[in-house]
Amino acid sequence: MVSKPMVVVLAGPPCSGKTTAGAWLASTLPGIHLHVDAILTAILPGSDRCLQDRRLAYEVAARAIKPVLDRGLSAALDCTYSRKEYREQVVSNVPDDAPLVVIEFLVSVAVALDRFENRQAHHAIDLTPAIVADKVRTYPYGAGTATVNSELSTNEIRQQILRSLAVVLDRGKWVDGGV
């Protein structure tokens, strides 16, 4: 599959398929799935998902990268990663010699809202239909190594992800592409 451990960021708006893909990818690489929403639930179970708490969860996920790589495993990070500060945390915690791939998950508002309505238990308890729709409409796409249409079949999505693992990320462009 991959010749050495790598870091793969699965980014995109809510309900775009990142978490499902992250769990699959971590088992495929092999690696560890660092799901930022789940990390937030684990470290602050009573959180109201305020910005301060979300910032902490993103920081914990970013700081977990090096220990994961040091164990010979890949890290699959999963969350929106729309803000520059979160992107910078990732880049500054990935060694220069470690491959970093960012896969952006594309989804339409209609499909995201349908997924949100039918979603089973999920850690992102602060979401509402209005927030989901807004985040889908305003997501800053374009600076990752690949964009995956998450409305394709599971097999097609997985094939696109695997093909994207060889693409080199422009780390500065990705950070600057955040909001």
Distance CA 117, CA 61 (A): 27
Higher-pLDDT residue of 2 and 135 is 135
- Has residue 137 been placed in a domain? yes
- Has residue 178 been placed in a domain? no
- Has residue 179 been placed in a domain? no
- CATH number, residue 36: 3.40.50.300
Residues 6+ apart with CB under 8 A from 45: none
Distance CA 165, CA 159 (A): 10
Q: Within 10 A of 146 (CB to CB), how many other CB atoms are there?
A: 16
- Has residue 96 been placed in a domain? yes
Give bridge partners of residue 50 from the DSSP assignment.
none
- Has residue 86 been placed in a domain? yes
CB 169 within 8 A of CB 145: yes
- Has residue 116 been placed in a domain? yes
Distance CA 138, CA 122 (A): 22
- Has residue 2 been placed in a domain? no
Question: What percentage of the chain exceeds 90 in pLDDT?
Answer: 93
Residues 6+ apart with CB under 8 A from 50: none
What is the per-residue pLDDT for 2? Answer: 75
Helices marked H in the chain: 18-28, 36-43, 51-63, 65-70, 84-93, 109-118, 129-138, 154-164, 171-176
What size, in residues, is the chain? 179
Question: If you compute the radius of gyration of the chain from its CA atoms, what whole number of angstroms results?
Answer: 15
Distance CA 144, CA 79 (A): 14
Range of the domain at 152: 7-173
Give the pLDDT confidence of 40-78 residue by residue, as tens digits.
Answer: 999 999 999 999 999 999 999 999 999 999 999 999 999
- Has residue 1 been placed in a domain? no
Give the pLDDT confidence of 121-159 residue by residue, as tens digits.
Answer: 766 667 899 999 999 999 999 999 999 999 999 999 999
Name the domain count of the chain.
Answer: 1
What is the per-residue pLDDT for 179? Answer: 97
